[in-house]
Chains A and B, each alone.
Chain A
């Protein structure tokens, strides 16, 4: 399913409108980061007439210009080429977008509203005040229109059908997850939506400036108030930005790291929450591989604690999934066209930390899985392998060192016996909760609208605020909360309510 260049409508923002950051800039409101949190914040504030400057460490890359999930994309749109790790036993690999639009440019675009019971729990346990879950879901309605969340109009890809077929055979609940895709003229292959196609152009039309190639090293603060930011431009030269208010929207790793580098104390970076995932590759009799798209089905039978879905499966990623047990799995790679990669994701009871150290550019991220998390990863991988067998897989290759290949039910027992999370390739793309919002003392880093506790003009407005990992793709929650908080900022005139 390749998006041919001819099918890509012209960008809504001419690249010339995107600025290169300069050594001295200023703004009424500085927004650091242009992903799901920063772009939505920028649109709300600019449309309210505020003077907004968005700075982004990465570059503007036209949506659709690079092959999705390709090495070139990892190089140009991901932080550190997509190789970032939370240390622990096992270490957990994670990825962060680093480009205009952030993670929204490079992820699979699957959209899940925050579940109502999760919102209720957040409100009660973290004491989020003036928070009406229905109001948030009404914002979600708007977001879904703005970014064109819809189901695929045509049929599903074969790797997606595998999930449906296997789950149906077992009687397990499954369904299509809508995506932010536009299907102009009912074309079967959609145009992926993202922040560079939606909220960023909207913000810029309302007068916001977007400056790329600008890393913020620290905020200059005194008495809980920040007045300027020290920056490093793409060519390595230093710069400064002065502002009245600042919104930190760098994502759940970069936002707490920046606050820590700026000397801000409090509950910052202490409660990183993720959805750890383990993977397997499954080989089928027919050629089914789709290199540049992911399945739209997810299996939610065991939700919230366990979910299954499909991963990007280009030849390089197929090889990567076989790497843990390369000695016995390598011959499978020649049949990559018959192989697709799938994941089992869990809600974790473990927690991670983000810590910044002086003179280190990047923070040190750690994460610890609990015994229950490890059992759940093992069980999830086995249930997913069972689903693959039921869907007609000839052979399943679980991604952990010492894994047997699975061809039948007896092998599932062998696989579970051999599994150890410590030897598994555990990864995650959902990072949150490093500056949880709410009024609960000692367990929140920002107030009920994202104002950092103890500060008067420093806000966080991204995945860091989500009090816990939501159990579903979190980007819908991130956007809805960011819009809610930005509107509150506008309504309260930029002062604390």
Chain B
């Protein structure tokens, strides 16, 4: 294991960090966050060996093309392992003989499944298997990507989640992610060196096609603003999130801890819609003024419907998203900055412009 070395971090206290490991393992590498992370790792010549987990052959092929397109160091060794993260044998294969100079970043997860039980198969059991395998393999650091959902929503629009909060999972996703965190903590108690990062709603390049609906709704003035849109939302630009993950990975003192990773401040929903509209216009797209203002009760009805459906095992994405829109989800990142040196570099307007440009570059219609 390399000795911790001291590196000054921009606008943050001096924090001892590790250098990059010989092997970096990424689960969910073909996903939105996984691609943003892999893209960054490929740009780093100090990462000699990447091992990436893909879910299917088709996903592996796609990931291979992505890697070939972005790999800056031709000498690098890249393994793509195919497997279902929900299965225990996948974790064993993924970490087979990786050695101690290895970090694992676990980004795989499911947020919009067809059935509620998939939350638990992937977010809970998958994490449990992987954390146990990582402990057995004796890796240097295991970074688990969690969520705000184990902590639910803020009880008041002026309330902000502090660094340390009691669990209050929001429905099936939140419960499965909470149990995922608990599985990581159990592995830590059994000797694993792990750190949890908790991003709220993220945005930015490599987004899946469903996210283009978000921009389309704003363009058409149809984004569902609940009440006057004064609910506050923490968001995180995906590259900021990658920064946060790397801080969590490389800070020895982060062992056993969990950190919010978000943009510097929470935005009101009204501000988000206005900023995205402005970013779309500045990227040369026409935007209709927002017209879809729903009463508070609409979000409440959607939330109740979502709860009822999830109780019988059914997940309905639109209901879920609308139900959550009535709430504030705001987090305080000051401890993340102080302890692991995370400083968000991109704020909402710039992040949204980059995000829109990326969509247009991919030929996606907004």
Contact = CB atoms under 8 A, between A and B. Distances in A.
B167 A379 contact: no
A409 B167 contact: yes
Contacts of A382: 166, 168
B25 interface: no
B165 A171 contact: no
Given A372-B156, A376-B155, A379-B155, A409 B162 contact: no
A409 B158 contact: no
Nearest to A414: B167
B163 interface: yes
Contacts of B152: 416
B162 A170 contact: yes
Contacts, number: 59
Given A302-B159, A372-B156, A413 B166 contact: yes
A376 B168 contact: no
Contacts of B156: 305-306, 372, 375-376
B182 interface: yes
Interface residues of B, number: 18
Interface residues of A, number: 26
Interface in B159-173: 159, 162-169
B155 A385 contact: no
A383 B163 contact: no
Given A171-B335, A413-B169, A413-B178, A379 B159 contact: yes
A302 B165 CA distance: 12
Interface in A380-410: 380, 382-383, 385-386, 390, 409-410
Nearest to A410: B182
Nearest to A383: B166
A172 interface: yes
B182 to A, nearest CB: 7
Contact of B165 (A375, A383, A415): A383
Contacts of A301: 162
A386 B335 contact: no
Given A171-B335, A410-B182, A372 B155 contact: yes
A417 B175 CA distance: 11
A294 interface: no
Given A301-B162, A410-B182, A375 B167 contact: no
Contact of A386 (B158, B166, B182, B300): B166
Contacts of B165: 383, 386
Contacts of A390: 164
A291 B197 CA distance: 44
B155 A375 contact: yes
A412 B300 CA distance: 24
Contacts of A378: 155, 168
A395 to B, nearest CB: 16
A379 B168 contact: yes
A12 to B, nearest CB: 45
A194 B244 CA distance: 54
Contacts of A375: 155-156
B166 A416 contact: yes
A413 B167 contact: yes
A75 B165 CA distance: 41
Contacts of A371: 300
A412 B155 contact: no
Nearest to B296: A371
Contacts of B335: 171
B155 to A, nearest CB: 4
B259 to A, nearest CB: 13
Nearest to B185: A409
B232 to A, nearest CB: 13
A170 B159 contact: no
Nearest to B169: A413
Interface string B34-45: 000000000000
25 contacts: A170-B162, A171-B164, A172-B162, A302-B159, A305-B159, A306-B155, A306-B159, A371-B300, A372-B156, A376-B155, A376-B159, A378-B168, A379-B159, A380-B155, A382-B166, A385-B166, A386-B164, A409-B166, A410-B182, A413-B166, A413-B167, A413-B178, A416-B152, A416-B166, A416-B168
Lowest 3 CB-CB distances: which A-B pairs, in order? A413-B167, A412-B166, A375-B155
Given A378-B168, A383-B165, A409-B167, 17 more contacts: A170-B162, A172-B162, A301-B162, A305-B155, A376-B156, A376-B159, A379-B154, A379-B155, A383-B166, A385-B166, A386-B166, A410-B182, A412-B166, A412-B168, A413-B169, A416-B152, A416-B166
